Amino acid sequence: MGKPTGFLEFQRRGRPGQPPLERVRHWNEFHPMLPEEERRRQAARCMECGVPFCQSGVELGGMFTGCPLHNLVPEWNDLVYTGNLDQALARLCKTNSFPEFTGRVCPALCEAACTCGLHGEAVTIRDNELAVIEAGFASGLMAPQPPKARTGKKAAVVGSGPAGLAAAQQLNRRGHSVTVFERDDRPGGLLMYGIPNMKLQKEVVARRVDLMAAEGVEFRTSCDIGRDLSAQVLLEEYDAVILCCGAKKPRPLPVAEGIQGAYFAVDFLTSTTRALLDTGMEKGRYIDAAGRDVVIVGGGDTGNDCVGTAIRHGCRSVVQLEMMPKLPDTRADGNPWPQWPRICKTDYGQEEAIAVFGADPRLYQTTVKECRMDENGELSSIVTVKLEPREENGRRFMGEVPGSEEELPCQLLLIAAGFLGPEDYAADAFGLARDGRSNVSTASGSHATGVEKVFAAGDMRRGQSLVVWAIAEGRAAAREVDEYLMGYSNLN
C-alpha cells in the first residue's frame, strides 16, 4: 500500500452535506466533492488488508457484507492515493459497470466490512469510488467504447434499470447487437423514476445512457413488452432475451384501499420526478404534499425518500410509521463485525424533518388501523395502533396493543411497505414460472428461465434489493447469455 500508516494518521472525512434547511429549498444533489488532496488522504487510510473483507460479498448472519461486485477496493484506493486516477478508473470499471450510481445510492456494504471499521471508522470507499468515476468523466477518459467487431447475434433486454443497463453494456461490448426496451418515456427504470433527484440527479443517468448509445446500444422507450409489443415478436427477432423488469408490485395496505388521498410511494416519487423533468415542478402535474399532513407507512429507503420529497413540496407535517422496534444505536453483541451493522441510522430525509419540524418523524411499532374521511369523502386523518412482538404456535409476529389507538391528522397517506415481486403481465407474456415469492423462477445458480433463450435478472429474479445487486445480476446474466450465444464467454 502507498501509505502504510495512513489509517493511523488520518481521520475519516466524508463528503460534506449541505445543511438541511438549505438543501430542502432545491432538488439537486447536496454532497459536494472533497478537494483532491483530501481525497488522497482518505484513500491512504486503506490498510490493503491480507483478507480484504470489503470486496468479499458474502452472507454472514443472514445478511450480506462486502461488495457483491467484488470491486478491487484496495487496488484503486492505493492508486487514488498515489495520484494515478486513470489506472484507478480502469481497475474500478473492470468490476463495476456504473460507479457513478453506486457511489451515490449504494448503502456501502463494502464499508460495513472494512477492517478499519473494526476498532474505528471505515475507509470512505463509496466516496472514493465516486471521485474516481467523476474524475474520469471530467477528464474525458469515459469515452465511448464500441466493440471492434460484431458477432452477428442479437439480444433484447427488457427493462432499463441497473440490471438491464449492466446486461446491455456487457453484451454490447462483447460485440452482440443489443436493444433495450423501456416502457417509460426515459431510460433508467428505478434510477430515473424510483430514486429522487436529490439522491441521483437525472443528468447522471442520461449521461450514462448517452454513452451506451454512442457505443451502439439501441434504446426503445415507451414500448411495453407484453402490451405494446408481444413476447412472440422478441422471441422471433432476437437470439436471446433478458427480462430485467424489476419488482414493481407494491405491497398494499388493506385499510387504505380505495381511499382518496392514499397513494403508493412509487407513484408519488415518480410523479414528482416526471414533473421536475418535464415542467420544473409545475403545479397540478404531480401528487402534491404542499400544505398537507403527510403520513408515510414504511421505514426503509423509499419511506425516507418520501419524507425528503414531501418536505420539498412544502408539507405541513410528516410522520413515518415503522412496524418493527427501533434498532439499537450501536452494534448488539450478536451482530459483530464484519456482519452488516443492524443499527438505527438517521437518513437525509429524517435529518431534514428534524431540522424543519423539530422532531424525528419516525414512530416505531406503529401501523395504520383506520382511515377517516371528511364530508367531501377525502382523507382527513388516520387512526394508528401500537404493535408488540408476539409468538403463537411457534410463529413470531407483531400484534396490536389493545387501547393504544391514536388519531393523527393526515390528508396524504403514502404506502412504502415494500414490494411483492414483478408485475404479472411481462412474465406471463413469456409463460414463465414463479417461485414462492412470485419472482421469476430460474435454474439453481443460473439466470435461465424454463423458456428457451429467455433469461431473467435483477429484482425480477431475486426480489426487491439494492442497485449494486442489480448491477451484479445484470453482469452475471450477460455472461450466461454470452455463453449461450457463443459457447464460451470472456466477460467477467
pLDDT given for residue 329 in this prediction: 94
Does residue 42 lie within any of the structural domains? yes
Q: What's the CA gap between 476 and 378, in Å, rounded?
A: 48
> pTM of the entire structure?
0.96
Q: What pLDDT is recorded for position 3? A: 86
Q: What is the CATH number of the domain that holds 63?
A: 1.10.1060.10
Q: Is residue 101 domain-shared with residue 168, that is, in the same domain?
A: no
Give me the pLDDT at residue 61, please: 85
Coil, strand or helix at 121: coil
Cell of 335: 451482530
**Within-domain flag for 492:** no
The predicted structure's pLDDT at residue 50: 86
219 and 262, same domain (yes or no): no
Number of domain units in the chain: 3
H helix and E strand count, the chain: 17, 16
Tell me, what's the pLDDT at 394? 87
Do 376 and 279 lie in a common domain?
Answer: yes
CATH code for the domain of 387 = 3.50.50.60
With respect to residue 445, please indicate whether it lies within any of the assigned structural domains: yes
Q: Are residues 104 and 159 in the same domain?
A: no
Q: What is the pLDDT of residue 1?
A: 66
Interatomic CA distance for residues 252 and 249, integer angstroms: 9
CA 426 to chain centre: 21
By C-alpha distance, which of 414, 116, 416, 395 is closest to 261?
A: 414
174 domain residue, yes or no? yes
| CA 186 from centroid of its chain's CA atoms | 18
Task: Output the CA angle 412-417-420, nearest 5 degrees.
Answer: 130
Same-domain pairing of 428 and 410? no
For residue 115, how many other CB atoms are within 10 A of its CB?
A: 21
Q: What is the dihedral of CA 273, 274, 276, 281, to 10 degrees?
A: -110
Question: What DSSP letter does each residue of 78-89 carry, written as one string?
Answer: HHHHTT-HHHHH
The residue with cell 419511506 is 303
Write the burial class of residue 242 (CB in 10 Å: 0-12 exposed, 13-18 middle, 19+ buried): buried
pLDDT tens for residues 182-229? 999 999 999 999 999 999 999 999 999 999 999 999 999 999 999 999
pLDDT value for 434:
93
Burial bucket for residue 144 (CB in 10 Å: 0-12, 13-18, 19+): exposed
Q: Are residues 202 and 327 in the same domain?
A: no
Q: Based on the domain organization, do 194 and 287 belong to the same domain?
A: no
Among the listed residues 145, 147, 164, 146, the one whose alpha carbon sits nearest the alpha carbon of residue 155 = 164
Distance CA 348, CA 77 (A): 27
Burial of residue 232 (CB within 10 Å: 0-12, 13-18, 19+) is exposed
| Residue where a domain stops, chosen among 415, 443, 461 | 415
Q: Whole domain around residue 168: which residue ranges?
A: 154-248+420-486
CA max distance for the chain: 71
| pLDDT single digits (tens) 282-303 | 999 999 999 999 999 999 999 9
Distance (Å) of CA 128 to CA 43, 76, 121, 140: 7, 9, 15, 19
- 165 part of a folded domain: yes
Helical packing angle, 125-139 and 85-95, nearest 10°:
110
Please report the pLDDT score of residue 356 as a whole number.
98
Residues 6+ apart with CB under 8 A from 5: none
Q: Which residues of the chain have pLDDT under 50?
A: none
Domain-located, residue 55: yes
- pLDDT, position 202: 98
Residue finishing a domain among 367, 384, 415: 415
- Domain end (from 106, 139, 172): 139
Residue 21 has a pLDDT of: 98
State how far the Cα of 268 lies from the Cα of 415, in Å rounded to an integer: 9
Q: How far apart are CA 351 and CA 359, in angstroms?
A: 9
Backbone angles phi, psi at 419, to 5 degrees: -130, 155
* pLDDT of the residue at 400: 95
145 lies in some domain: no
